[in-house]
Amino acid sequence: MKTQMAAARDNIVTPQMEQLLAAETVDRDDLVSAVAAGRIAIPANPHHTHLVAGGVGRGLRTKINVNLGVSEDCCNVDLEIEKVRRAVALKADAIMDLSTFGDTRAFRRRAIEISPVMIGTVPVYDAVARYGKSVPDISVDDFFDTVALHAADGVDFITIHAGLTRAAVDRLRRRPRLTHVVSRGGAILLHWMDANECENPFYEHFDRLLEICRAHDVTISLGDGLRPGSLHDATDAAQIQELIILGELTLRAWRADVQVMIEGPGHVPLHEVAANMQLQKKLCHGAPFYVLGPIVTDVAPGYDHITSAIGGALAGAHGADFLCYVTPAEHLRLPDADDMKEGIVAARIAAHAADIAKGIPGAMDWDNAMSHARKELDWPRMMELAMDPDKARAYRESSKPLDEHVCTMCGDLCAVKRSRQVLEGR
């Protein structure tokens, strides 16, 4: 079986590429060359039979990902499956199953079965849940057997924190952070490495990982185990050291025809976001960039979908390709269905704003259509075009004007109505 990258290098247009061409404005030849060069990734495990393939990378719409899954404290499988369905309905482009408890495989397979969008996982979480061992007692084979299981189940992309090496940890020890390691997968591997006095198994045995991913065409999302968890720690030596290593691993993966995405920060001050995007693209050879936020202030728990959307829009405008949503519950608890919706809409706003800034062909057509409807005071059309039609309609219905053509903000002083009368005579 050829991976998407191998097929592109042989100038073969796969069915998944055809699906992508139907959904995007990218040129066929440009798509094939970008996939061949690693600038676009098409996460599409052939075992994910209901997948409608999407792409991440240069010249494509900025995509958004939704995290969900069960934990020991919140283990309602049916609720999380319903979140999968709702995330798809709300137009998420990808779903990551971050389950850490219970029958994780049963949940993962149900999610893959019902999801038409790409599915990602973090196998190191599942290794802890699956074997029930303390972290230091997990074997190298346990880690890799879990990766192989996820690949066989149909997972399209996996987060692997292979850049958190002993050398990177030494640098972290020499220059301590305010918030240490905030990546859950990174912290698991940090604990394992320290307790066993061994190198990161995914770095030491990276070729073994590549064999599994090539066999199932699983895209590797090279995780940022040392991403900053506070503004104070942003763009520090440990983060950059890991990024350099991820760039080296990217080239190794591409030589094996394995697709790669790079995960990025994290908590980053607004004025450092653009520089972080430029560093990643330079050090990781233009690989698609998947950002976790970035969150641009640390002081807004309950509103981190907003702090993230601000950072995500700026990151996307400067080259980020994939935004991981953040919900109002970030830093506080497992998000519920309402939190998930708020996070998805915020991330979609950020992604769309980024697409306009990037000049993605057709991106602003939606905005122009809305502006035309507003000029015409065509309220049904405005509701239809709204990113969240239900919420827009609810606001409109909650406060009805005397004149149905305007709203209760301005009433008869409506600027649109008055200027249209003057300039168009109607």
Residue 208, annotated as binding a ligand: no
Residues 6+ apart with CB under 8 A from 387: 345, 348, 349, 352
Residue 227, annotated as binding a ligand: yes
Residue 184, annotated as binding a ligand: yes
**Rg of the Cα trace of the chain?**
22
Residue 414, annotated as binding a ligand: yes
- In angstroms, rounded to a whole number, what is the distance separating the alpha carbons of residues 119 and 112? 7
Pairing of strands 56-57, 40-41: antiparallel
| CA-closest candidate to residue 222, choices 231, 213, 230 | 213
Residue 303, annotated as binding a ligand: no
Helix (H) or strand (E) holding 297: none
Structure tokens at 239: 């983060």
Question: By the 8 A CB rule, do 318 and 271 touch?
Answer: no
Task: Determine whether 79 is exposed, middle or buried from the number of CB atoms within 10 Å of its CB (0-12, 13-18, 19+).
Answer: middle
Residue 410, annotated as binding a ligand: yes
Alpha helices in 132-272 (DSSP H): 140-153, 166-174, 184-196, 201-204, 206-216, 237-255
Residue 324, annotated as binding a ligand: no
- Chain-centre distance for alpha carbon 74: 23
DSSP E strands: which ranges in 82-138?
A: 94-97, 118-121
Residue 120, annotated as binding a ligand: no
Task: Determine whether 255 is exposed, middle or buried from the number of CB atoms within 10 Å of its CB (0-12, 13-18, 19+).
Answer: exposed
Residue 67, annotated as binding a ligand: yes
| CA-closest candidate to residue 246, choices 205, 217, 280 | 280
Residue 224, annotated as binding a ligand: yes
Task: Determine whether 343 is exposed, middle or buried from the number of CB atoms within 10 Å of its CB (0-12, 13-18, 19+).
Answer: buried
Residue 125, annotated as binding a ligand: yes
Question: By the 8 A CB rule, do 355 and 322 touch?
Answer: no
Binding site listing for Zn(2+): 267, 331
The annotation places the binding site at 67, 96, 125, 161, 183-185, 224-227, 263, 267, 290, 331, 407, 410, 414
Residue ranges at the known binding site for substrate: 67, 96, 125, 161, 183-185, 224-227, 263, 290
Q: Which residues sit in the known binding site for [4Fe-4S] cluster?
A: 407, 410, 414
